[in-house]
Amino acid sequence: MKNTIIATFVALMGVFGANAQLDIESGAKVEFEKDVHDYGSLIQGEPAVYEFKFTNTGNEPLIISNSRGSCGCTVPSWPREPIAPGKSASIKVKYDSNRLGPINKSVTITSNALDNPTKVIRIKGNIAPKPANAAPTNNDSPMAPKAN
């Protein structure tokens, strides 16, 4: 009798333990194709935009509550709607390429992902000045020559 009670208790603990493990693993999970994008060398004023693609590999909807650049020159935009399990989306990161020099910026993403609720992605590269003989990019500039 004593052995039967102990065996039943051990069996029940195994069942409850397995259910607790399932509950821990249930939720949204985010997997990015890559965490760092290298723009390489860009010329001042050239577009510096990259889309970081990701997939919700969990079994619950992924909700991104915030996405913040490390400075005002790095501006992310992200999907506001939940991303269903198995579905993919992207976070677009735009850098102000009018600033010269090396780029090494981050974007911090806050979500309900169980595996990584605060994810950091990065951009890097270098912005070189426009060549002196480059044509103006904005003919409406007060410094641009006016046609007669």
Q: Is pTM, for the whole model, over 0.75?
A: no
Q: Quick check: is 102 in a domain?
A: yes
Check whether 17 has a pLDDT greater than 70.
no
Give the whole-angstrom CA distance, residue 4 versus residue 8: 6
Check whether 39 has a pLDDT greater than 60.
yes
Q: Quick check: is 47 in a domain?
A: yes
Please state, for a pLDDT cut of 90, what percent of the chain lies above it: 68
CATH number of the domain that 90 lies in? 2.60.40.10
Query: Which of the pair, 99 or 10, is modelled with greater confidence?
Result: 99
Check whether 6 has a pLDDT greater than 70.
no
DSSP codes of every residue in 89-102: EEEEEEE-TTS-EE
pLDDT at 146: 47
| For range 39-58, the mean pLDDT | 96
pLDDT at 25: 75
Question: Which residue range(s) make up the domain with 50?
Answer: 27-128
Give the whole-angstrom CA distance, residue 38 versus residue 135: 27
